[in-house]
Amino acid sequence: MRLEEQAAVQIVAAGRRLDALGWVPATAGNFSVRLDARRLAVTVSGRHKGFLTTDDVMVVDLDGVAEDPAKRSSAETLLHCGIYRRFPEAGAVLHGHSIANTVLSRVAGGSVTLAGYELLKVFPGLPTHEASVDLPVVPNDQDIARMQRGLDALWDGMGAIPPGYLIQGHGSYVWAPDMPMALARMEGLEFMLRCVLEERSLR
């Protein structure tokens, strides 16, 4: 099986998993897998992620230019490209829209602090729960290129960069060296965000 086909199979499976968890309603979300130093496989625009087929995956370069001009990717593909350009270790990127990440991103300000959770171990360099992560929340912007420039500036000013962020009122992004780890990070992150949301409701 060619690399592009393997990536498409992984993306289809990820769509079914995240749809089953309720994190990609309607046509929300997008997923990608790095193919090589200059190309990635990514979901096409406008498809329900729970019903993807391998034909719903396309190949673009790191500028978001499609190899097959008959297929159209989401404008947010440029955010995937930005992650792959910035982080050479990134091999897969997931973007989802859960209730927890959407609500918290609207009320949290510039970051959400995750502290003391066992599942912090899904992030690199955090071997125990005795740690904390400030997950950035960035403003939503229909100008995706401008949003990516803001992310680059944010990352330039950070020390350790967590492999994820939230877009205000919009959703979460995570990345990892491969798709199984990206799924684990998404599941771990969403569990912790749900815990934060539940804790706030009890105050």
Torsion over CA of 49, 55, 60 and 65, rounded to 10 degrees? -100
**Contacts (Cβ under 8 Å, ≥6 apart) of 135:** 111, 112, 113, 114, 162, 164, 165, 166, 189
Answer yes or no: is 95 a known binding residue: yes
Torsion over CA of 93, 64, 74 and 2, rounded to 10 degrees? -60
Work out the angle at residue 15's Cα, subtended by the Cα atoms of residues 9 and 19, and round it to the nearest 5 degrees.
155
> How far apart are the C-alpha atoms of 34 and 81, rounded to whole Å?
9
β-pairing, 39-43 with 171-176? unpaired
Answer yes or no: is 48 a known binding residue: no
Q: Count other C-beta atoms under 10 Å from residue 112's C-beta.
A: 24
Q: Which residues make up each annotated binding site for Zn(2+)?
A: 95, 97
Q: Which residues make up each annotated binding site?
A: 95, 97
